[in-house]
Each structure stands twice: as structure tokens, then as C-alpha cells.
A and B are shown apart, each in its own frame.
Chain A
């Protein structure tokens, strides 16, 4: 499978402040790739560089096989981009907005447009400026999906949306997903967990992690070890154990390279015989909270 997005050592500096530090990223075609990370991690900057809204300080990026610095005009017929804080022509009604954009896209699908307007319950005769934040986001999304783009890029699409609207947006996206690659940035880890096939964790401009959601979920586990009486926690612990805490005879940690047999073998090697080893799956939110608190990259 080829990559819809590929970046190499992408760096962006704003007056000496590094927003991106050597970002190397691959988004496979057909994936729903979620780029997550704390505020100021560089997610929006990365997307703006990919969309040729900003120019990288160094490094290179390819989007749908095209150098990102060459993305313009007809290249956007294959890309649907929606951003949380995008400035829309507020003086236009929803109908006029969709009608205006229609002429730019040879592949614009009127039936799909109609279906999206219905699905998102968009009031065609209402001005964009008079719409709620969620409605505006849905209008922008409808306008970015109606021409069946190969790549859908969403910058914080769920920010400030109420749960109902969020579900509608996600539903709209999921319906389009089979025919497109989706690349989105978000804070909303709970929604990402149900939506994304791939996930990347960006922190301080660097990509700490980038992998399939399934493998990420499988390799992170919360482990609770009940020690025998008199056992203690030694100084040297395996590198994949994070946030190790102990109270009385119980030791808890997060294993970032969890495999049932290997983890149990490591536990025995560290603590000797133990009374019990309990393993709990982790949510995406817990995984990233752990990583954010630990502040270190995972292999």
C-alpha cells in the first residue's frame, strides 16, 4: 500500500521557536490517521505545511504523490480540508456556499451534496455567519466531501462540538472513509479511538509514536503485580515499564510492549515469584496520558 501522505524530517520554525522538529510520517492510503498530542504540539502546523498553507523551514512532504509546496489549484480537487477555525464566507447562505464551490470541482456530486445536507440537517437558506459553530463545521465538511476527495484532512474537527453534532460529523466521515484517506488532528481521544485506524502522537514538534491503532492498543496494558511478602521493587526496571508505582505489596505499571508471556517472564525476572499478575487493557486516552506524563518516546 502506498502512502497518501509522506513527510521527511519536516521542520518549521517561527522566529526561533520550533513548531516541528524533524517530523517523519507516513499515512497509508485508505487509513484514518489521527494525529494527536497536547496543545502546541505542532499538529496544526504540520497540517498547514501539508496543505501548502505554510512553508516548512526544512524537510519535505508529499501529499498524494505531489510535493506539498506544489499543492495548489487543481490539486485541491482531490483534497478536502476542513479546519476548526477556518474563515468561511459568512455572508453566503449554505446553499450559495455549496453552489459557489460546486463550479470549482469537476467531480462534484450533486446527489452526495444533497445527501450530506440532509444528513447534517443543514439549513440551505441560512447564512454561514448565522450558523452555530457545529453547523458551520458540518457545512464546511459537506463542502469538503461532496466532490469525493481522495484525501480528507481535518484539523481539530470535533473542537467545541456538542456530542450529537460530533457523532453526526463522525458518522459522515465514516461513511466516506472507504473511498478516501482521512488525516485528522484532534484532542478528542475518545472519539479517535472509535474512528481511527492509525494514530500518531506528536509532542513538542516531534512524533513520539505512529502506528496502527490495533497494535497500539495491544501493546499497552496496565499491569498490577501482587508481590509475595517481603519482596521489594528493585532499582533497575525494564525500559518498557512506565509510571511504576508501588504500595505495600502491590506494584502497578504500564507496559508499552505488552505480550502476555514476555511481560510475565519480565515480572518474574524482576520480582521473582509473585502472588498474582493482573492485566487490564487501556483506553487511548489512558495510553496518551501515560505517555504525556512520562514524557518519553516509545519504541
Chain B
């Protein structure tokens, strides 16, 4: 079965063809990172506009690279949510039209389940390794999510923990903004921290014996640590009353903070990264041991973090799976992989399919979820 999948939940326009839920025939990603860098984060309206112009070249290229036409495609899959409403609706309406015009089944996919199944993907030209053994623990860490899921068997999840405030990737982005480093924050903090000695300990939120996460206190601590290095600001300049005000920008750009030249940016970045990774690794390792899992999977953009990968491999006693880098950040191949599972559970959507910005994991038929997070208790 060949599934053509489309993903537009945030700031990547992506299309992919995947065979039997594992073999990636193509995975095309038009990233908008450079566009949003100026603003220090994703601007939803601009992301939605970009999807409108990127969607056709991306889908066309995915079919061309796969060497396939509509006749070779058995189903069209698309991310239903969670994500940005204006971004999701471009992918959903485009995918629905393709399914309608080509008379193909339409498969709705939960973006989070996509991240889980990114661990099943085999890049083109590579030999198949063993898929993660179940039950498996999955740490999803991205700009929008920090979740610890237990996949007991296909379609049966336990949500062990999730962030109570910022996602790990969001914490990296906010930290980078505070340190005057570029967006996205994960890679720029990792680069700044390389070879630098952490400057003291930043606080970790352990939240008792819960598997939940919290990163907002850490961000505040970094803000305090940066304050001594901030350049003194002069009094705000007054506009003469009769001069017309300059028109406000439609999309105001992010202005990085100004610091004195000897600020220990690299050491602060190292402390910050250390604090985030420490909590992620310790909670994952404890959950893996408590739940007696057969393997651990990592997914999401933060899975690209080298320190996180090293520490997990060192601290977790069962095999740790990390997807190929191209499948860590948002991509359509993972949507196709999850769609393959969804098809087997009988998931199908009609022409009235909607986008669902807050889509819960158990919204699709055949998925059972037990929520063990603090919020659910």
C-alpha cells in the first residue's frame, strides 16, 4: 500500500509517499524556518500564507521523487491536528480535494501519532532494521509538545506525562531569545553550548514523582541570570505631539535584547541546555524502568539534540530508537506511517472532515488512551 501524506500543521509544508507504512519513497519538506527567524518564532498568519504557495510544488516533487502517479497511490493521508488552524486547513482542504478528484480513500492522522511512528520509517536506500519492540516508551519533544507516552500495542496508549506549561522546544526558543541567539532555539543553544562549561546550576522542576514536565520556572531563572548583563537603557524618547506616528509594522520583527560584550552567553547556554536535558532524560529513564518497556523512542524536533541522544543512550537500559534527522522535525513521512496504522484500524474521513487544532490522541477510531498525567487525576 502506497500512501501519499500531507502535513501542514505548523511551519513546514511537507508531502511524502511511504510504502507499507515503513519504506519512504519520498519525503519533501519546504521549511519556513528562515521566514519566521526574523520574528523570533512562528507567525501563524505568515505560516498559513506560505502553505498556500508551497503546497503544490511540494506534493508534485514528492510524487516525482517517488516515481509515482495518481494510479500508484492507494490512499491520501493528512494531518487533522493538533496544530495551527489556518495552517492545518490548507493541507486538509487540499488533501480532501485530491482524494475526491482521484477517487481515493482519505485518512485523517493525529500529528502526535505521526511523531510516534516516525520511528518505523526507513529512509530510501537503507535496509530495514527491526522496528521498536513493544511495549515502548515514546518521548515526544518539539516546539509544541513534551509528552511521555507508553505504546502498549498499536493503537493503545498511556499518557504518562506531559508539560504543564512550555514545551521543551518552546523552552529552547525562549531561552535563545533571552540569550540573543537565533531562532530556532534548539540548534542555536546546542551550538553555543558546545565545549562550554555550564555556569552554575539552573533550577529543575521535578514535580514530585509525576512524569509531568515544567519549563517556565527555568526560563524565568535564565532571565534573572541574564539581567546583570543587560545594557542600561536611556529614558524613552518622546514623540513631539504634532509629528505623525510611523505606521505600525504589520508583522513586527523580533528585536534581540542588548547585552554588555563580556556576557558569558556560551556558559549560560550550556547551563540551560543541561537543565532541560537533565529533566527529560531522568524522567524518561525512570518511566522506562517503572513500566518495564522493551524499548524507548524519541521523536520531535528536540530529538535532534546531541546531548539528549547521548544521555538517553547512557541512562536507559533498553534499546533507544531515534529517527533519522529528517523524520524528527515535522514531516509528512511520519504522517503516512501513522496513516498506515490508522487504515488498519479502519480510520477514514469524508468530505466533511474538519481541522482540529486541539485534537486529542484518542479521537480516531480504534485508539485507546489512558491518561495518567496530573491534569487527568
Pairing of A with B: no
Residues of chain B whose beta carbon lies under 8 Å from any beta carbon of chain A? none
Residues of chain A whose beta carbon lies under 8 Å from any beta carbon of chain B? none
